[in-house]
Amino acid sequence: MMGGSYGMGGSGFLFLVVMAVLVVVPFWRLLPKFGIPSWVALVSIIPLGALILLWVMAFRDKIDGGRA
């Protein structure tokens, strides 16, 4: 009853790290083009943080007064 694997194990952790890198790197490259510091891309590790960053990037031109 108490046997078996606990949690995701080593391969599950590796999967999460790879997925985090695949999410953070594009944000790291794109955020400076929107006038946001690169380190803010680390917020995208949290799913809700990624969604918020996408919204900020989508409406950034409206925030800055319609810059091109």
Contacts of 68 (CB under 8 A, 6+ apart): 61
Q: What is the DSSP letter of 60?
A: H
What is the mean pLDDT for each group of 10 consecutive residues in the chain (68 residues)? 59 87 93 90 92 90 57
pLDDT of residue 12: 83
Is the overall model pTM greater than 0.75, yes or no?
no
pLDDT of residue 21: 92
Backbone angles phi, psi at 4, to 5 degrees: 100, -170
Contact predicate 33/40, CB 8 Å: no
Contact predicate 54/31, CB 8 Å: no
